Structure 1
Amino acid sequence: MDRYKKLASNTFTFAIGTFSSKLLVFLMLPLYTRVLTSAEYGEVDLIVQTCNVLVPIVSAGILNAVIRFGLDSAVNKKSVFSIGLLTILLGFIGLCILEPVLLHIEFISQYTRYIYFFILMSNLHSLCSNFVRSQEYVKLYAFDGVFRTVLTVILNIVFLVIFRYGISGYLLATILSDFISTIMLFFAAKLYRFISLGYIDKSLFSSMMRYSLPLIPTTVSTWIINMSDRYVLSYMLGSEANGLYAIAYKVPTIITIVTGIFMDAWQISAVNEHQKGDGGRFFSKVLDVYSSLVFCGASVIIALTKMITKILTSPEFFSSWIYIPVLVMGTIFACLASFLGSAYMAQKKSEQILITTMISAVLNIILNFILIPAYGIQGAAIATLLSYICMLVIRAVNIRRFMNISWNIPKLIINMSVIMTQSVIILLQIENWFIYEVGLILIIALVNVKALLMGARRIIE
């Protein structure tokens, strides 16, 4: 199959499952904002984000290696899965030893047991789903997304609406959906065939660790960029401010949902093209189409910011709309930086991902302490935007050392200028703002239509 058609086919298949599971976060907002107060949502958000940063630490980042080495045709797949499973189990034992430390962290101490099971099941589910994806079982991977989504919706309704368990119910719904989904994948893909803990390929284990360990601080640094502002907000302005910011952050998730689906399929193509020795030209063509999709999606979301917020949230959270345009701009740069990160992954240059992400994370922390006292919640959004701009610029310059990726600079400048103009119009609530927004959306469409049509033609022909 032609490489463009294969990428499109995999993207479509992943979309069936991944779109439903990632869209779940977005679609469940009406339920969460009506069942939980802004303070409760701010608290549960901090708990979940704490779990998210512990997940890669406990697993030693092995889940990233499972995908990359699982895609490598020269590697024994049984060894890859077994090493992943063993690493997760050993990491969980280490986490159990640290329980006294977690009990002294005030906002999570009463939920410690939930957090343990959350981390374990999240890691086991990711291991199974990542391995299934690395073996290109795309239909099963897609089915798992739909299956897990249905489970999560049902369990959230049961624990939050019927039993009114609040924060505990939110966590329990996630834990059980991961557990049941893991069992389904384990038997549907017959993953027990790939377990061989009695014999571990030491050379492969060493290679996977060299690849995955730099990605632990990378993941933590990414988490810092995305989430440190929430801790600073909670510390300086309280849980209610964090709740509003967390809700505002969900709307740009529309963009990351769509691009995340594409990136799932793109990782397979990126590695395959690298193994063929023809990556730079293909990367550039795909980047052109990818960036056009990102800018078109961002333009529409900014124009509809207030409408989206009104539909998806309760009146208590409506004021969060004002932070969305800046966060959408940050998401644009995050998506482009993530695409460049796939080039590092294909080359197994995980240390470069680490360096570029850590620089941006440090900048984010500094900016949070400078901008939040001055501009409140909006300061956190600006800090995130500037951090992702920094990451993209560094990666774009650094990557030219080993891959020639071409950028359409004039188009990039026009796109970003239009997006910034849209944001200013929305934030200042200029009279007849909707007419201006429609006009600017049309400009974005005209600027990007050629790339989108060429991308579609490569798929069809």
Structure 2
Amino acid sequence: MSKLKLFIENFLVYGLGGIISKIIPFVMIPIMTRLMPSTDYFGISDLSNTVVQFGSAFAIMGMYDAMYRMFFEKEEVSFQKRVCSTALVFTFCTSLVIFLLMVLLRETIATYFFSEAKYAYVVYLSAMATLVGGTNAIIAAPTRMQNKRKVFLVANTAGPLISYAVAVPLLLAGYYVIALPLAGVVSGLTVEIAFGILNRSWFDVTKFDKALLKEMLMIAIPLLPNFLIYWVFDSSNKVMITNMIGIGAAGVYSVGSKLGHASQLIYTAFAGGWQYFAFSTMKEENQVQNNSLVFEYLGVISFVATAFACAWSYELFHFLFTKDYWPGYVIAPYLFLAPLLLMLFQVASNQFLVIKRTWPCMLILSAGAIVNIVLNQWLIPLIGIEGAAIDTLLGYVVTDVVLVLVLLKIKLIVVSRRFLFVAFMMLVYFLVWRLLIPANIVAGTAMAVAFLVICLLLYREVVRMLAGKVKAKTKR
């Protein structure tokens, strides 16, 4: 199987499964906001998810990536089962510890994240979701690592459907605060039980291997700060907005980020197929060139998609949401591009994971996170939620630029001049949109189409190759 075909198949199959799990919540956002009488309630629900993400970083502690990396180290099934079993035992223990700590510190957590201790009962639900989510990813992993595509697609469709089947009746009954957090717990537990039944042969407590755990922790522990830094980029803004402006503003920001994170459909599609492709081809002679091309092509796709997000953001917000949420239109494009820059970071930083040196990623991510937090202190009081969105985007820009410079120095990536030109065009487009035409869909779309045409001309040989492959396949 060609490398391009392997990547595209995994991108489409596992990516499609991930997209389904993301697109259902995306479609449901306008419905959820209309079922809630105030932006405060959406803010509380999203902040609950923020707490879960924070707790999950400690619960998983990088073990999922270490498990994936070690699984492909050997082809012996007995070794792979020891990898899975060791990862599960370790993650269950850490998840249980984090659950107990969250319960004990519920009032402190509520005060910090929700600005009021009265929401301590929401932390209970967040703790339960963390306990379930910490082990869920590990238990589901063998399905992906065995390329069981249909199972993956069904599971990723069922999860969000179960969640909203629980949430909507609760919202209609007036349980605005707990509806979404409780639904997340029920959905996560249901999916985990299903994967536990399907993958039970891969897990055996008696196969826990202390020596193997030590090797996996050498990969996993340096990744923990990375996930915490991801949390700073993705979620700390909401906490800072809550404490600086109010929980209602956090609700508007959350909706803006959700619509902006429509780009996560692209990111999730990439991530779904990336890990299998990256680690199954990591020993190829042309690995650096292949990885660099993936970085470049996904970068171009990201920039073109962001151009259209800028052009359409204003009209989409006015069409989908009530007036209280309209100010969120301006932050959506910033937060649309941010996850895509994270995607590019993960493509490039995979070079460090392949050679089992993950600590440089932590240092580079830290630089971007510091930029984000420092600028938040200044821009949030100055220009509100847009300041938080700008800070996040700038943090990722700094992170990607530093990473690429480091990899260029050690010759683990190749960056073409045409890609640098496309990145410069993206910067110009963004400035023109924000300063001159933020609400003009016609002018914005015209500029986005022009940007797309230029990119197609620059990468015309790639377009011809893909078109030829599609044409050949349709003739069969």
TM category (shorter chain) comes to: over 0.9
- Partner of residue 233 from structure 1, selected from 224, 241, 250: 241
Deviations 1:147-200 (A, max 9, x none): 213222322223223x33222111111111111111222223xx2212221232
In structure 2, the partner of 1:141 is: 152
Using the alignment, how far apart are the partners of 1:358 and 1:183 within structure 2? 36
- Partner of residue 364 from structure 2, selected from 356, 364, 376: 356
Q: Is the 8 A contact 1:13 1:138 kept in 2?
A: yes
Aligned residues: 457
From the superposition, tell whether residues 458 and 192 of structure 1 become closer, same or farther in structure 2 (CA, over 3 Å). farther
In structure 2, the partner of 1:67 is: 68
Written as runs of structure 1 = structure 2, the 5 A alignment for 1:275-354 is 275-354=283-362
- Report the RMSD for the aligned CA atoms in angstroms: 2.3
- Partner of residue 182 from structure 1, selected from 192, 198, 202: 192
Using the alignment, how far apart are the partners of 2:469 and 2:131 within structure 1? 40
In structure 1, the partner of 2:87 is: 84
Using the alignment, how far apart are the partners of 2:190 and 2:274 within structure 1? 28
Written as runs of structure 1 = structure 2, the 5 A alignment for 1:105-144 is 105=109, 106=111, 107=114, 108-144=119-155
Q: Is the 8 A contact 2:41 2:177 kept in 1?
A: yes
Q: Is the 8 A contact 2:341 2:400 kept in 1?
A: yes
In structure 2, the partner of 1:104 is: 108
AA paired with 2:7? L
From the superposition, tell whether residues 458 and 203 of structure 1 become closer, same or farther in structure 2 (CA, over 3 Å). farther
SS in 1 for 2:61: coil
Q: Is the 8 A contact 1:214 1:350 kept in 2?
A: yes
SS in 2 for 1:219: helix
SS in 1 for 2:108: coil
AA paired with 2:86? I
Using the alignment, how far apart are the partners of 2:438 and 2:308 within structure 1? 17
In structure 1, the partner of 2:166 is: 155
Q: Is the 8 A contact 2:55 2:98 kept in 1?
A: no
SS in 2 for 1:214: helix
In structure 2, the partner of 1:398 is: 406
In structure 2, the partner of 1:29 is: 29
SS in 2 for 1:167: coil
Structure 1, unaligned runs of 5 or more: none
SS in 1 for 2:208: coil
Greater CA drift, 29-38 or 69-78: 69-78
Greater CA drift, 40-49 or 191-200: 191-200
SS in 1 for 2:421: helix
SS in 2 for 1:304: helix
Greater CA drift, 268-277 or 205-214: 268-277
From the superposition, tell whether residues 92 and 439 of structure 1 become closer, same or farther in structure 2 (CA, over 3 Å). closer
AA paired with 1:101? L
AA paired with 1:55? S
Deviations 1:294-333 (A, max 9, x none): 1121111111111222233222211211222333343443
Q: Is the 8 A contact 1:270 1:343 kept in 2?
A: no
TM superposition shift of 1:361 = 1.2
Q: Is the 8 A contact 1:415 1:444 kept in 2?
A: no
- Is 1:172 matched up with 2:206? no
Using the alignment, how far apart are the partners of 1:382 and 1:359 within structure 2? 16
In structure 2, the partner of 1:449 is: 456
TM superposition shift of 1:238 = 0.7
Written as runs of structure 1 = structure 2, the 5 A alignment for 1:397-436 is 397-418=405-426, 420-422=428-430, 424-426=432-434, 428-429=436-437, 433-436=440-443
TM superposition shift of 1:274 = 1.4
Deviations 1:59-80 (A, max 9, x none): 3221222222223334612112
Using the alignment, how far apart are the partners of 2:80 and 2:370 within structure 1? 37
In structure 2, the partner of 1:20 is: 20
Q: Is the 8 A contact 1:294 1:332 kept in 2?
A: yes
AA paired with 1:290? L
From the superposition, tell whether residues 327 and 445 of structure 1 become closer, same or farther in structure 2 (CA, over 3 Å). same
Greater CA drift, 82-91 or 307-316: 307-316
Q: Is the 8 A contact 1:337 1:392 kept in 2?
A: yes
TM superposition shift of 1:9 = 1.2
Q: Is the 8 A contact 2:260 2:334 kept in 1?
A: no
SS in 2 for 1:165: coil
Written as runs of structure 1 = structure 2, the 5 A alignment for 1:260-275 is 260-275=268-283
Runs of 4+ off more than 6 Å: none
Q: Is the 8 A contact 1:325 1:423 kept in 2?
A: no
Using the alignment, how far apart are the partners of 1:128 and 1:371 within structure 2? 42
Deviations 1:83-119 (A, max 9, x none): 1221122113322442322233333512232122101
AA paired with 2:150? K
What's the TM-score once normalised by structure 2's chain length? Answer: 0.89
Structure 2, unaligned runs of 5 or more: none
From the superposition, tell whether residues 364 and 179 of structure 1 become closer, same or farther in structure 2 (CA, over 3 Å). same
In structure 1, the partner of 2:7 is: 7
From the superposition, tell whether residues 250 and 38 of structure 1 become closer, same or farther in structure 2 (CA, over 3 Å). same
Greater CA drift, 444-453 or 223-232: 444-453
In structure 1, the partner of 2:43 is: 42
AA paired with 2:107? L
Using the alignment, how far apart are the partners of 1:41 and 1:160 within structure 2? 11
Q: Is the 8 A contact 1:121 1:179 kept in 2?
A: yes
In structure 1, the partner of 2:56 is: 55
Q: Is the 8 A contact 1:42 1:242 kept in 2?
A: yes
Using the alignment, how far apart are the partners of 1:454 and 1:144 within structure 2? 36
AA paired with 2:3? R
Using the alignment, how far apart are the partners of 1:286 and 1:440 within structure 2? 26
Q: Is the 8 A contact 1:298 1:332 kept in 2?
A: no
AA paired with 2:124? R
